[in-house]
Structure formats: C-alpha cells, structure tokens
Structure 1
Amino acid sequence: MEWIILLLAIAVFMYLRTKTTKGVKNISTNDLKNMLDDKSKQLIDVRTPGEYKTHHIVQFQNIPLDQLPSKVNKLDANREIIVICQSGMRSARAASILSKAGFTSVYNVKGGMNRWS
C-alpha cells in the first residue's frame, strides 16, 4: 500500500513539473531554427552568465532566471517571446513567470541547449 502512495506522489510530482502553463507553447529546437531570424520575436536565455558565456545562440539575450522578475518590465508583452535554458526546466519556469506577467505569446524550447546542435 505504501508503494502505491509513493508511486502516486511521484506521478503527481512529474505531472506538475512537466505540465505547460496556459498560454505557453513548447517548441522543439528544429522549430526554433525557423524562428531565429524573425526580428519581431524576443529571444531570452535564462541560464546563468557563466553557462551563457560558455555556449549560447547568438540571437539570444541573457537574462538569468533569478533576475527575470525584476527585468520583465524591460520586455515587450505585446511581442512573441522565446525562452531557452540548458534542459527546458528553467525556461519552463521563466515562461510561467512571463505568462503570469501578461505575456500572451510565450514559447519554451523543449530540451533547451542540450538538444541544440
């Protein structure tokens, strides 16, 4: 009986960690490649400055996740925004922050830089 409760708790945890926030669309790195040259989009890398410096996509601006809430007012809520991190987890949190701040067109890159080639 205890293992059933444990499995249920793990399943709920995984669901909550991977569910998409309303208004946020998940895209693949292949989808991203088709969007990189679109100047109307805002491209934000939410990794740490050290991670960004080591390897990044040139078109992306670095705003670390921990700084995003204080810098969200410098972004245009009326423009599409794409967020990326190393694996997709921090960018999912960033996308949620942006969605709650009134951004209506937010894209999260699934798999992040781990899937970028």
Structure 2
Amino acid sequence: MNNFLIAAVFFITCLIFPNLYAQEGKKSNDEKIDNIEQLAPKEVFLLLQQDSVLMIDVREKTELATISYDVDSIIHIPVSDFLNKFEIQSKEFSANTKLIIACRSGRRSQKIAKELQKKGYLFVYNLKEGIIEWEKQGFKVKKEKAVEKNEK
C-alpha cells in the first residue's frame, strides 16, 4: 500500500511539475533558443490571462489579411519596420511588461525577441512555431482581415 501511495504521488507530481524530474540533456518545456524562452501556444494562452502581458505580432501587414491571432492584448508591428515603430509604442507599457513575440512560424519573432533582449527587455518570449501551431492546437484565430490595433 505504501509503495502504491508513493508511486501515485510521484506520478501526480510529474504531471503537475513536468520539469521537476527532467533529466539533464532531455528536452523539457523550458526550451530556450539564444536565451529566449520558447513558449507553446497553451503556455502563451495561459500567460495572456495575467496582467502586464502583451503579445506583439511581427508579421507583415499583408499577412494579416489571411489569418490573425484572436487575442485582446495584441498589437501589430511589422518586422520590416519593427525597431522604429517599437520605440514609439514601447512608451505605452512598462519595462516589466511580459512581451510575447509572434509571427507565422516562429522564426522572425525569434529574431525580434533576441533584439529586444539585447535592448534590455527582461521578459521576452517567443511563440514557438507561431500562428501555424496556434491554430493547429485549436486556439482562436480570425480568418478575415484583422483589425490592426495600435499600428501607427
């Protein structure tokens, strides 16, 4: 009976805290590329439920016509003009704001996340595999032309 109870507690702990018993060298949910944390769509969705979190879609304006994220706390700043427009928009949120950078597949957003980290932003995350994986996992998207929030 004791062994069963210990095994059950261990199993439940592994489900709740999957990284607690992760072995070195094995892939865990805390994946980082170039020191940028890569978040799965579910992790992003949960993070967006908190205060001081902003998602930034860096896809080009033309890409928004086909599919866009259906998220309240999102702004669009195209990668082609990101550094100029970000400086203007960054005045609207604090340095402690958690920034989730997103694009179509996660490549462009990774580059932008790295640039923001170099500029001193501490809480920068990349949406792993972008809107492709976001939609694939069943999170809301808009298929019509997106309303571009805060684009100047």
TM-score by length of 1: 0.75
Choose between structure 1 and 2: higher helix proportion: 1
93-102 or 57-66, which deviates more = 57-66
Match 1:97 to one of 115, 123, 132:
115
Q: What are the Cα deviations for residues 62-82 of structure 1, in whole angstroms up to 9, with x where unaligned?
A: 101121111232224331100
Runs of 4+, deviation exceeding 4 Å: none
Structure 1 vs Structure 2: percent identity of aligned residues? Answer: 31
Q: Determine if the alignment matches structure 1 residue 65 to structure 2 residue 79.
A: yes
TM-score by length of 2: 0.59
Could you say what the CA RMSD is over the residues aligned between the two structures, in angstroms? 1.6
Q: What's 2:139 paired with?
A: none
Q: Which has the larger radius of gyration?
A: 2
Q: What's 1:20 paired with?
A: 33
User: 1:28 corresponds to which letter in structure 2?
Assistant: A
**5+ long unaligned stretches in structure 2:** 1-31, 136-152
> Any residues of structure 2 matched to 1:42-53 within 5 Å, and which?
42-53=54-65
RCO higher in structure (CA 8 A, sep ≥6): 1
Matched residue pairs, number?
A: 98
